[in-house]
Chain A
Amino acid sequence: MSKPIKRPVTIVISALGGQGGGVLTNWLIALAERCDYFAQSTSIPGVAQRTGATIYYLEMFPKASVENQDNPPVMALMPLPGDVDLVVAAELMEAGRAVQKHYVTPDKTTLIASTHRVFSIAEKMALGDGTGDSDVVTEAARDAAKEFIAFDMEHLAAELGCVISSIMFGAIAGAGILPFPREAFRAAIEAEGKMVEANLTGFDGGYQAAINSHKPQKQKPAEAIIPARPNTPEGEALVRRINALPEAAREYALAGARKLLDYQDMAYASDYLTMLEGFAARDRAPYGISRELARYLALWMAFDDVIRVADIKTRSDRVAKYRAEVGAKDGQIVHMVEFMHPRLEEIIGTLPPGLANLVEKSSFLTWFFGKFTGPRLSDSTKISSFLMLYFLAGLRRFRRRSLRYVQEHRQIGLWLDHIRSMMAENYDLAVEIIRCQRLIKGYGETHARGMASFRSIMAFIDTGEGNVTADKIIRLRTAALADDTGKALEKELLPDQ
């Protein structure tokens, strides 16, 4: 038997729940049958079909190559590495997974992928940033594929008002590797008869995008330095001071100054620069301390308090952003029900230390202020709720006299002392101490936990003697972000580590 061995066209589709992998598969089957091909598909749904990725596998074989139609080709039910013509992945990491499974090979496979991310639970639940490295996956996909077509299909789908499956179908046509004419693709959508118009729009969009982007679009650089636009003499003076800082620190220093101006006022931004300048003057190339401090000092100084929350929730641009994100139509009435849970310490924190002390000691005052604590829902579009928030936001002119302010600045002072004392003898360690500010964030329990971790690390630095190295601090910080019970940090702090 020396018949020429003709391969079927083999296709792997990887889609997450709700991305329409099944619909896409049905279109492809209809397309192939319409064009006189034998077509077979099968699928492995993710475990119990919930939240996992479903892998669809299709084979197509021209009827014209089969002499006896009663003896159809034997089609496989699963892909074989090195034997796949087309892989379509509706999400970037799923494209990576196809590469991982060796479905994508440089001699055969065209890989069509959406570059958007659907984050896994492990990535989402990390205490800090647990997201997988998209660049690594993109690079591996480009290396593995014969041709790599990638663009953000989710974005395009949202723009065109269609589902992602129609974009993928269009991209397959645009890639030009299936032996079927474009019109046959469109006919398959029309024949199915469901949401034809939207699907055809998506198809055309995907088709064009595949043709335009035979390589992935370059990501924008992280964030270009936004040129400052001061509109007051004080502002101009501040910008001059920022420009006098080491270049490495300027981007963050401008962002930090802007943040603190927005948070409090020009004087506060100026205080920030003064503190920063003190360190910059003693810093040396490559000015890591100045750069990191510009970032983390601004974040700490803009600590979250009741005033800040109220300020943000009452702004007009917030309302506009909110409405856009929830998909409100122009003029549509949208209630914005805020979930707040003020605690006594947050309310006391806005009072001056003397008064705060008084409240803490007086059971009547504690009872009285206690009435404002606890879980509450307030619709910030209601006049009474809005006025309450507006009033709280207005307290910002008294913020620098509040207990919370005093407490935070005392901590900031201690932190800066640590950095200052370490700068000369162990530069890297000083940088890592600065970065520990990352642990302090949030409100309520989250803030208390982060603060406790931060303090444990600072205490370790004070008493840890010879063990204290930059690496150790990195390990401690990582441990602090590993769980929210503090167990990992506790273990890392044990003396025998």
Chain B
Amino acid sequence: MAERSFVKEVKKLRLGAGEVFHGEGILAVTKGLLQSGVAYVGGYQGSPVSHLMDVLADGEKILSELGVHFEANGSEASAAAMLSASISYPLRGAVTWKSTVGTNVASDALANLASAGVMGGTVIIIGEDYGEGASIMQERSHAFAMKSQMWLINPRPNLPKMVDMLEKSFELSEASNTPLFFQMRIRACHLHGQFVAKDNLRPAFTVADALQYPNREDDKIILPPFTFRQEKQKLEQRWPAAIKYIRDNGLNEVFDGPEKDIGILVEGGLYNVVIRALQMLGLADSLGSTQIPIYVMNVTYPLVDEELVAFARNKRAVLMVEEGQPNFTEQALNKIFNDAGLACKISGKDILPAYGEYSGQVTLEGITAFLKKYRPDLARDKTAAVTAPLSDDLNVAIPARPPGLCTGCPERPFFAAMKMLEEDYGEIHISADIGCNSFGTLPPFRIGNTIMGYGLGAASSSAFSSVPGARAIAIMGDGGFWHNGLTSGIASAVYNNSDNVFIIVDNGYTAATGGQYIPSSAKSLKQDERKARIQDAVEGVGVKWVRTMRSYNISDVKALVHEAMTSDYIGPKVIVIEGECMLNRQRREKPLRQKNIKSGKRQIVKRFYVESETCTGDHACVRLSGCPSLTIRPNPDILREDPVAYVDNSCVGCGVCGENVHAAVLCPSFSRAELVYNPTGWDRLKDNLRAAIIGPLQRRADRKRARVSL
């Protein structure tokens, strides 16, 4: 079960023509897919489009009613390969993933797809994880569109426009036989708004039809001589067809204004922030009427030269608002204007920052600088006063909040064990991976030297695999393992007789993206069988040394890793560390527990407690844990100045605190409270007996203490 359920929201996918849809961008786009008569959908989860996969999974019933095939693909490469269904059939297909990382993974299949060309409309919805809140390296997807010659749609961020552009994307793809990217930024994915719905369309041609009437076209095969013809086709047929469709249907928009000697060119996704900045300068109103003409590129690739030249003709200067680097569009503009013999100057990254997100502030400053240069009469300084530098004291006082593992996370005890191991060994070279386990590289654990990509943890230790008497450790999650780690990492290690230690952290889900299922997910709420075991898979590719351990047994985990590091066995050693994602586990167990308590069944609820009096404020426990529920509070003793540890109400009683106390010989301040609900007669009898003996002894001690006081 995914972290967020859309079971209620997916009902909105059934809205018919004329009804008003209220909801999030992700859901609106899904509705747009159904309105477009899509025949198959898929993808791989990752922020900010994880919820798109969740919506599709929760909406499976609606999809199957419409005859739409849905697949949770094994990786972005799998998803891209699925799009081959549209090469020779008039099937509309859509997949989604996080970009640029997912696009990197998919790029082999995408290059082949783009070369062959498509018959059915093919749309890849990419969640562009750039700027504030991003969790990946900062790059542009734009380069992929250029290199494979796929179109890049970047719509103005409001729901009606996004849905409309999605529908037109299928048409554009079909008109130009080219697959395309539909780019959505984080904020657009989470945008709450409204639009007027249309009826859903059953696909005109379904995947079943395709199997019934198979169609083979020689020239769609990626082998010479077809590949040379395909390249020619890209430039001579598909490109002009795309330009024609974009122009005929007005996909790009001009918002004209009276100050005609200057203009702003903007990628669709940045339009709203430009309008807001102009409003601040008194040059636009809330409804979008602007004094400075604006050309909005809802299609950022390919560029429509004729439209650009027409917009810039008779202008002294334009400002190109293009986010990320390199500044592909700005560079292209120079060539286009030069060929057309325009005198119009182009500003862009000379005035706006060369890199980083174009926030409201940055855009406002950029437009102000542009106006100062070309129309000082319109420039007003609205920025300096509100962004005066703040005191150093404030900057020191406000702590950063790096991401960390959740309360009760099963990976915490594993990383605690690794940290204790490093205390014994000194530092170890550890290749880390993508997923929740990435957070092990941050304080308090700092376990892991490099992160190379999803599922590539094992492969990234390979340079260190043949050093006699020394071993490196590679960590990956179960998500990364199935994504590609089994082949790129483990099978390769077997073949090369790597002597390293490979640790696979099995929490049962792709937990970091919101708890989606993978082949080794255990039996749980939604899934009724485990489809594959990690241990079987690694043995299947030839690993002889495989061990499994429950993550919460910290001392045992530490001993097992030590065993692997010192074993006489030469060859890859695989350790599977098991512990179910606590978020998912709680979602399953909590309601059950509540039900038991209500129905009168005996139930024990555990949580931890720290004694303030014996806690000395050293926080060694925190340094081995980092659990959000293990926190601090002011010391109740006025003589002691360091805050004491404290377990807050969110504790789920996972047991890590206790294990750490024992494994690292910490203080005796920790205690596990076991609250008994609906006690049996035996429970009560024992309790009464205990009270009868312990009570008087305590009262005696109380009286004794009370005899002298100050």
Contacts and interface: CB of A to CB of B under 8 A. Distances in A.
A229 interface: yes
Contact of A341 (B287, B613, B643, B665): B665
B272 A76 contact: yes
Name the residue in A47, A81, A228, A445 with the highest tally of chain B Cβ atoms < 10 Å from its Cβ: A47
Given A3-B285, A44-B133, A314-B698, A121 B404 contact: yes
Given A78-B360, A304-B616, A390-B697, A383 B386 contact: no
Nearest to B25: A42
Contact of A124 (B622, B683, B708): B622
Q: Which 10 A-B pairs have the closest CB atoms?
A: A80-B360, A82-B386, A375-B662, A441-B616, A120-B399, A44-B133, A335-B674, A76-B276, A316-B698, A326-B673
Given A97-B398, A238-B710, A333-B683, A71 B287 contact: yes
B682 to A, nearest CB: 11
Interface in A359-401: 375, 377, 380-383, 386, 390, 393
B658 interface: yes
B361 A312 contact: no
A44 B687 CA distance: 51
Interface stretch (A98-106, A182-190, A411-419, A486-494): A98-106
Interface string B601-620: 00000010101011011111
Nearest to A342: B668
Contacts of A255: 637-639
B710 A132 contact: no
Nearest to A309: B668
B289 A3 contact: yes
Interface in B476-514: 512, 514
A75 B708 contact: no
Contact of A386 (B364, B694, B709): B694
A97 B642 CA distance: 25
A104 to B, nearest CB: 9
12 contacts: A25-B192, A40-B158, A50-B406, A78-B273, A100-B395, A124-B622, A309-B668, A328-B673, A333-B679, A333-B687, A335-B676, A337-B673
A336 B673 contact: yes
A137 B398 contact: yes
A175 interface: no
Contacts of A339: 657-658, 661-662, 668, 670-672
B628 A78 contact: no
Interface stretch (A259-267, A279-287, A426-434, A457-465): A259-267
Contacts of B667: 304, 442-444, 446
Contacts of A76: 272-273, 275-276, 360
A6 B279 CA distance: 9
Nearest to A77: B187
Nearest to B660: A339
A266 B403 CA distance: 50
A383 B689 contact: yes
Given A322-B609, A335-B674, A45 B133 contact: yes
A327 interface: yes
Contacts of B698: 314-316, 319
A52 B154 CA distance: 28
Nearest to B290: A1
Contacts of A82: 280, 382-383, 385-387
Given A46-B133, A50-B439, A309-B668, A381 B694 contact: yes
Contacts of A75: 158, 272
A74 B382 contact: no
B47 interface: yes
A159 interface: no
B398 A335 contact: no
B444 A343 contact: no
B276 to A, nearest CB: 4
Contacts of A308: 614
B163 to A, nearest CB: 14
Interface stretch (B63-71, B119-127, B322-330, B699-707): B699-707
A17 B383 CA distance: 32
Given A46-B133, A82-B280, A136-B397, A73 B710 contact: no
B401 interface: yes
Nearest to B361: A81
Contact of B187 (A43, A46, A235, A238): A43
A18 B650 contact: yes
A253 to B, nearest CB: 10
A433 B444 CA distance: 30
Interface in A1-24: 1, 3, 5-8, 16-18
Nearest to B273: A76
A51 B639 CA distance: 33
B249 interface: no
Name the residue in A66, A295, A325, A332 with the highest tally of chain B Cβ atoms < 10 Å from its Cβ: A325
Name the residue in B436, B662, B677 with the highest tally of chain A Cβ atoms < 10 Å from its Cβ: B662
A441 B617 contact: yes
Given A119-B632, A390-B697, A445 B673 contact: no
A122 interface: yes
A139 to B, nearest CB: 9
Name the residue in A137, A230, A333 with the highest tally of chain B Cβ atoms < 10 Å from its Cβ: A333
Contact of B668 (A79, A96, A328, A443): A443
A341 B668 contact: yes
Contacts of A340: 668
Interface in A102-117: 102, 105
A305 to B, nearest CB: 11
A7 B134 CA distance: 30
B193 interface: yes
Nearest to A109: B386
Contacts of B622: 121, 124-125
B631 A256 contact: no
B444 A61 contact: no
Contacts of A298: 639
Nearest to A232: B708
B679 A442 contact: no
A442 B616 contact: yes
Contacts of B670: 338-339
B212 interface: no
Given A232-B708, A445-B665, A74 B699 contact: no
A381 B708 CA distance: 27
B280 A235 contact: no
Interface string B644-677: 0000011000000110011011111011111111
A208 B528 CA distance: 50
A277 interface: no
Interface string A123-163: 11111110111101100100000000000000000000000
Contacts of B662: 339, 341, 375
Contacts of A96: 394, 397-398
A136 B675 contact: no
B400 to A, nearest CB: 7
A251 B272 CA distance: 61
Contacts of B463: none
B694 A383 contact: yes
Contacts of B540: none
Name the residue in B271, B285, B684 with the highest tally of chain A Cβ atoms < 10 Å from its Cβ: B285
Interface string A21-53: 000011001000100000111111111111111
A121 B444 contact: yes
Contacts of A1: 257-258, 285, 289, 291
A484 B617 contact: no
Contacts of A132: 396-399
Given A75-B272, A231-B709, A445-B664, 15 more contacts: A1-B291, A55-B132, A97-B398, A122-B443, A125-B444, A134-B397, A136-B391, A258-B710, A309-B668, A316-B702, A333-B676, A337-B672, A375-B662, A443-B616, A484-B620
Contacts of A79: 360
Nearest to A124: B622
B276 A83 contact: yes
Contacts of A105: 386
